[in-house]
Amino acid sequence: MKKDTAKSIWLLWGAGILYFVFNSVAAAQGWPFKLPGPKFADWDRYAVAMVSVPVGLIGIIGLSAVGICYARASGESRPLLRMPAPFGLSDPESQALHAAQILAFLVLPLVGIASLFAKFLGGNFCRKVSSGASIACGQTPYEVVGTDHFRFVSFSSVTPSRAFIYQGGPDYWPFWEPIGFCLLGLAAALMLIWFAATVRNGSQNTVSPADRVGRDEAGRAQHARSDIPIGEKL
C-alpha cells in the first residue's frame, strides 16, 4: 500500500471508528445526545453493547493494520515521521497533533469499547423453553438464564436457531460469543503492539538521513556524468 493511500484510509477509518463508538456508547448508556447520522433507534441498550463490541474491535484491528502499512511505506528513520500524518495535516512533526490523533482514533475508542463490553456483561440472556408462555429478553417463550456469560454451554446446544437470545432479542451463543469477544480483544492488542513496534523500529525499507544524503549525492554525480558529451568522455 502506498504512503498517501494509507494516510487517507487511516484518516477516514479512524474518524469512522470514533463516530461509531461514540454513538454506540451514547445509545448503550442512554445519553441524551448523539452525533448526527445513523443511530440505534428502538434498540435495547444491552443489545447495542453486544453488537458494538466486536464491530469496534475489528475496526481497531483494521486501523492498526493501516498504520503498519503507513509506517512501512514511509521509509523514514524517525519514529514520529513513521506515524500517519495527524488528521491528514501537513505538520508530521507536531507531537501535540500526533498525541491528539492517537487519543481520538485509538484511546477514546478503546475506552468506549471497554465500557460497552462491561455493559454487555451486565445484560441477561435467555433460553428457549418448550412450553409455557413466559416472556423473557423481550421474546416468548423464553426463560431468563442470567448474566453468567462465561459459563460453559456445549456448542451443540447453542447452534439451533434462536435456542438462546440476548436481552433485547438478538440471537446469542452464551460462552462462545464472550470468548470470541475476548479473542478479538487479544487480536486488537497484538495488532496495536505490532503497530507500535513498526513505528518505533521501522522496517527494512527505512532509510536513515545519512543514507538518504549519500543516495542524493550519488544520484547527482551520476546525473552530472550523464551530461558530459560523448567526445569529452573519450
Give residue limits of the domains in the chain: 3-123+174-206
Higher pLDDT, 187 or 87: 187
Higher pLDDT, 216 or 54: 54
Predicted pLDDT at 218: 55
Higher pLDDT, 209 or 50: 50
Higher pLDDT, 114 or 168: 114
pLDDT of 211 > 50? The answer is no
Predicted pLDDT at 225: 59
Predicted pLDDT at 228: 57
Express each pLDDT in 151-169 by its tens digit.
Answer: 999 999 999 989 999 998 8
pLDDT of 21 > 70? The answer is yes
Three cell numbers, residue 124: 441477561
**202: nearest Cα among 63, 17, 72, 32:** 72
Per-residue pLDDT, averaged over 180-193, amounts to 98
Torsion region of 203: left, alpha or beta (phi above 0 gives left; psi -120 to 50 gives alpha): beta
How far apart are the C-alpha atoms of 229 and 234, rounded to whole Å? Answer: 9
Percentage, residues of the chain above pLDDT 90: 61
Torsion region of 233: left, alpha or beta (phi above 0 gives left; psi -120 to 50 gives alpha): alpha
Element of type H or E holding 164: strand 164-166
Three cell numbers, residue 210: 545519512
How much is the pTM? 0.83
* Encoded amino acid at 114, one letter: A
Percentage, residues of the chain above pLDDT 70: 85
26-35, 108-117, 130-139: the lowest-pLDDT one: 130-139
Predicted pLDDT at 15: 96
Per-residue pLDDT, averaged over 211-218, amounts to 52
34-43, 73-82, 104-113, 203-212: the lowest-pLDDT one: 203-212
Mean residue pLDDT across the chain = 86
Predicted pLDDT at 23: 93
How far apart are the C-alpha atoms of 55 and 45, rounded to whole Å? Answer: 16
Which residue shows C-alpha cell 567526445?
231
Express each pLDDT in 32-72 by its tens digit.
Answer: 888 887 778 788 999 999 999 999 999 999 999 999 999 99
Which residue shows C-alpha cell 453486544?
50
Q: How confident is the model at residue 17 (pLDDT cuts 50, 70, 90)?
A: very high
Q: Give the list of residues 6+ apart from residue 64 with CB closer than 8 angstroms, or none.
A: 188, 191, 192, 194, 195
Q: What are the angstrom distances between the C-alpha of 164 and each of 89, 98, 152, 210?
A: 49, 45, 13, 63
**28: nearest Cα among 140, 117, 141, 152:** 117
Per-residue pLDDT, averaged over 72-81, amounts to 88
